[in-house]
Structure 1
Amino acid sequence: MMLSFTLFTAIRFSNIFRKKNVFSPMSIISTFGIILGVIVIIVGLSAINGFERELNNRVLSIVPHAQIYTVNQPYHNWQFVEKIIQKTPGVLGVSIYINFIGILEHKSNLKAVQIFGISQKKQNQVSNIQKFILSNQWKNFVSGNKTIIIGNGIAKTLNVKIGDWITIMLSNNNSVNIQSNKRIRVHVIGILHLNGLLEHEIALIPIKDAQEYLNYKNSITGFMIKVSNLFEADKIAYNAGIKTMQHVIIKSWIDDYGYMYNDIQMLRSIIYLIMILIIGIACFNIVSTLIIIVKNKIKDIAILRSLGAKDIHIRAIFLWYGLLNGFISALIGIIIGVLISLNLTIIFKKLEMIIKTNILSSNIYFIDFLPSSLQIIDIIYVLITTIILSLLASLYPAHRANKLDPAQILR
C-alpha cells in the first residue's frame, strides 16, 4: 500500500512539475548528462569488448601461444623432443616450423617479410589460420609446387594477385653482394586476409620447401605450441622447455602481444572510472533539482502531513522521484547506446569515408576497423550504477523534505 501511494505521488509530482514548466536548467543538465554518460559508456565498453574479441579471434588464432626453438640453429634430431612437448600438461597441440626473413620481389616492388615454413596438417593443431584463407587455396598449399601464401597487405604493396609469380630473395651469408643472394621463384596461390598489421608482415610456404630453400635437410627452426590456458602460456611453455633437457629459447604470445591485452584491460578500467564520474556528476545534479521541487511543493508536503503521511512516506516520495529520473534517463541512454554500438563498425567506416582518412591503419594497428561487441552484463552494470547513484543523490533532498513542519507551513 505504501509503495503504490509513494510511487503514485512521486509520478504526480513529476507530471505537475512538468506542466508548470518550472524545470530548472540544472534539471535538464542532469537528465541529459545521465543520458549522454550512459551512451558514451556503453559505446566505449562495446568498442573495448570488440578489440578484445578481435585480439582473441584474429591475432591469437594466428600466432602460436608459445614457441620453443633451439639456441643453435637449425634444430636437428627434433622428433623425440616433439613427443616430449606433446605430453606436457596444458599443451593441446604442437607443430614444427621454419622461420626466416626474406625479401619478396615483384617487378620493381620489394617487401621484406617474415616467412614461415609450416606443415599444413600439423598447423591446424595450433592455429586457425585456414579460417582466413579460402578453402581451395589452403588445399593447394602443398610442398613441391613452389607455392606461397602472402598477407593481403603484402599483396597490395607488391601489386600482385592470386596466380602471379614472385621472387624470394634469401641472404647469402658468404657474400654482401645482393646480386649473389639466392633467388627463388614461387607461385602465389592464396591471400591471407587479417585486416591488420600481421597481413603486412608474414608469408607462408610449405615446410618441405623451406627446408629445401635453406638447405636444412630434415631440420627445423622450432615448435609452435597451443596451450589450454592463454594466461598460463609462459608457465606451460617453460615446463615443456625444461623437459627437453636442451638449450632452448622459450617464448609466448605475451612477449609480443601481451601489451595489447594489458592496454585493453587498462582502457576498460579507465572507462569504468569515467562511467562513475560522468554518471555520478550528472546524478548529483538531481540534488539541486529535488531541492527546487521541495521548495515548490512545500505546501503539498504539508497537506500530505496533515492527512497522516508519515516521515517514511515523505522520504519515499522523493527517493522514488530521484530513482525514476535516473532510471528513465539511463533507459533512454541505453537504447541510444545499444543502437550506436550495434552499428559502430559501419558508422566508423562512414566517418573514414567522409574525412577520407584511415584512422586505424593496418600498417600500424592489429586491425584496421573499429570492432564492437555488445555484452548484456555491461548494460546491467551501467543501469545498476545509475540507479544506485540516483538513490544516493536523492537522500539529502528526501531528508530535507522529511524535516518540514506542516504546522508552520500552513499557519
Structure 2
Amino acid sequence: MNLSLMTAIKFRQGRRKSGMVSLISIISTLSIAIGIAALIIGLSAMNGFEYELKNRVLSVVPHGQIYSQYGNLDDWQHIQQELEEDKNIVSAAPFISFTGLIENGSKLGAVEVQGVDPQREKAISALPKYVLDDRWQYFKNDSQQIIIGSGLAKKLSVKQGAWITLLIPVSSDNNQLKPPKRVRLQVVGILDLSGSLSNNVALIPLADAQKLLNIGDSVTGIMVNVNQVYLAKSLLGRAILNLDENVTYTSWENSYGFMYRDIQMIRQIMYLAMIVVIGVACFNIVSTLVIAVKDKQRDIAILKTLGANNRQIKHIFIWYGVVSGLIGSLLGVVLGVLSAWQLSNIMKVIESLIGHKVLNGNVYFIDFLPSKIHATDVLIVFITAMLLSLIASYYPAKRACKIDPAKILNSF
C-alpha cells in the first residue's frame, strides 16, 4: 500500500510533462474545492438563520400564549400557578395585547401594544437586552412610559426621550366605535431586534395597560415558555388539558413556524445539492485519470515487467484519484470555513458596494446574513467528497490493469 501511494504521488508530480493532464487535474481539484466551499458557506448560512431564529426571535417571542375563549382572562393567577407546576413549563407571565396608533406630529403608525410586567420580563425573556442603551431599568409602572420598536421609531422620526400620543380604540355597548382615547407617553427606550420584529411593536407596563383599557385585574392571556421550544405546540396542548379553566392556546409555530420549516427544507436541498455538486466535481477525476492512464502507459508496462501485479497497479491509480480529491477537499474546507467565518462581514462589504441590503428588515426577521459553522456539516461534506473521489477513481484504475506491457513496450 505504501509503494502504491508513493508511486501515485510520483505520477502526480510528473504529470507536468503532459500539459493536458496537468490542466484537467488542476480543473478537477479546483472544482472539488469550489463545490465544497460553496456547500459549507450555504450550510453555515442555514445554521446561522436557525441560530438567530432560536436565540433572537424565540428568545423574545413567547413559545406559546394561553387565552380565555371568551374575552379577557380573569382568574389568571390561578392558571399561572397551575402552569408553573408543570415540569415542561419554564416560565409563565400575564400580558395584555391591543392594537393602537402612535401619533408624532403629523405622522401616524399602527402598533401592536404589549402590556408586560417590567420586573418579571427580565427573568423570562431576552427582550430587555435588545432595548438600546440599557434603558429597560428605567421602565416602570405609573410613569407614563412606553418602549417602541426601532423600525417604528424611524418611521415616525421618534427619538428616545420624546413624547408621543397613543390612540386607543374604544367601543360602546352597542359595538359602535367612539373617538379613540388619547394618552401622552414618553419614549423611555428603543427596542432594536434588527428586522421586521421591531417594525410595529410597543411595550407599556402591565398595570398601566390595565388602567388604560379599564379591565381591572384582568389580562389578555398568559405567555408561556417551555423547556423544548421545537415541541412547544404538543407540550402546551398537554398542559392545558390539566387546567380547570376552559382556555385555548397558540404557539410560536402559528406565527413563525414557516421560518423554521423553510430553513429545514433548504437545508435538505443543500444536502442534496452537496451530493450533486461534489459528485460532478469528483467525476472530473475520471477524465483526469483516464488521460493519466493513457499518458503513463509506458510506466505501467515497466512496472508490470518489474513484477507489479494488477492489484498494485489498481491501487496506484486509486491513490492518484484519492490524493486529487484530498487536495481539493482540504482546499475547499479551508476556503469554505474562512468564508463562512467572515460571511456577515463579507456581505456588509458587498452591501456597501451595491448600495442596498440583501435582506430587507421590513420583510425578514433579521436584516443581516448570519453564519454559524458546525463541525458536523464540515465533516459530512469532507467525507462525502472523499467517498465520491474514491468511487470516481475505481473505473480508470481498473482500466489501467488491462494494459498489455509487451504491446506497449514494443510500440516504443
TM over 0.5, shorter chain: yes
Q: For 2:167, which of 144, 169, 173 is the aligned residue? A: 169
Map residues 298-377 of structure 1 onto 2, 5 A cutoff: 298-377=297-376
Match of 1:283 in 2: 282
Q: For 1:49, which of 41, 47, 50 is the aligned residue? A: 47
- The amino acid that maps onto 2:114 is F
User: For the residues of structure 2 that align with 1:404 and 1:73, how far apart are their CA atoms?
Assistant: 86
| 365-374 or 24-33: bigger deviation | 24-33
Normalising by structure 1, we get a TM-score of 0.96
Contact in 1 for aligned 2:76/2:222 (Cα 8 Å): no
Which whole-Å deviations, capped at 9, do the CAs of 1:300-350 have from their partners, x for residues lacking one? 111111111122211111011100101101111222222211211111122
Once the two structures are aligned, what percentage of the paired residues are identical? 44
Contact in 2 for aligned 1:290/1:322 (Cα 8 Å): yes
Match of 1:63 in 2: 61
Structure 1 residues 136 and 263, CA, compared in 2 at 3 Å: closer, same or farther?
closer
Match of 1:193 in 2: 192
Structure 1 runs not aligned, ≥5 long: none
User: For the residues of structure 2 that align with 1:341 and 1:358, how far apart are their CA atoms?
Assistant: 18
Map residues 8-407 of structure 1 onto 2, 5 A cutoff: 8-23=6-21, 26-134=24-132, 136-174=134-172, 180-407=179-406
- The amino acid that maps onto 2:365 is F
Task: Report the secondary structure of 2:14's partner residue.
Answer: helix
- The amino acid that maps onto 2:29 is T
User: For the residues of structure 2 that align with 1:218 and 1:22, how far apart are their CA atoms?
Assistant: 83
Contact in 1 for aligned 2:73/2:219 (Cα 8 Å): yes
Structure 1 position 19, deviation (Å): 3.9
| 335-344 or 57-66: bigger deviation | 335-344
Contact in 2 for aligned 1:170/1:183 (Cα 8 Å): yes
- The amino acid that maps onto 1:340 is S
Contact in 2 for aligned 1:126/1:224 (Cα 8 Å): no
Structure 2 runs not aligned, ≥5 long: none
User: For the residues of structure 1 that align with 2:227 and 2:217, how far apart are their CA atoms?
Assistant: 29
Structure 1 position 201, deviation (Å): 2.2
| 287-296 or 166-175: bigger deviation | 166-175
Structure 1 position 404, deviation (Å): 1.9
Task: Report the secondary structure of 2:140's partner residue.
Answer: coil
User: For the residues of structure 1 that align with 2:20 and 2:110, how far apart are their CA atoms?
Assistant: 69
Which whole-Å deviations, capped at 9, do the CAs of 1:189-224 have from their partners, x for residues lacking one? 111111011110211110000000000111101100
Contact in 2 for aligned 1:64/1:126 (Cα 8 Å): no
| 31-40 or 358-367: bigger deviation | 31-40
User: For the residues of structure 1 that align with 2:243 and 2:105, how far apart are their CA atoms?
Assistant: 45
Structure 1 position 34, deviation (Å): 1.1
How large is the RMSD of aligned CA atoms in angstroms? 1.6
- The amino acid that maps onto 1:307 is L
User: For the residues of structure 2 that align with 1:122 and 1:390, how far apart are their CA atoms?
Assistant: 57
Which whole-Å deviations, capped at 9, do the CAs of 1:148-189 have from their partners, x for residues lacking one? 1111111101111110011110112138677x2101111111
User: For the residues of structure 1 that align with 2:334 and 2:96, how far apart are their CA atoms?
Assistant: 51
- The amino acid that maps onto 2:64 is A
Contact in 1 for aligned 2:289/2:396 (Cα 8 Å): yes
User: For the residues of structure 1 that align with 2:242 and 2:123, how far apart are their CA atoms?
Assistant: 21
Normalising by structure 2, we get a TM-score of 0.95
- The amino acid that maps onto 1:248 is V
Q: Runs in 1 of length 4+ with deviation above 4 angstroms?
A: 175-178
Structure 1 position 28, deviation (Å): 4.0
User: For the residues of structure 2 that align with 1:396 and 1:50, how far apart are their CA atoms?
Assistant: 40
Contact in 2 for aligned 1:126/1:225 (Cα 8 Å): no
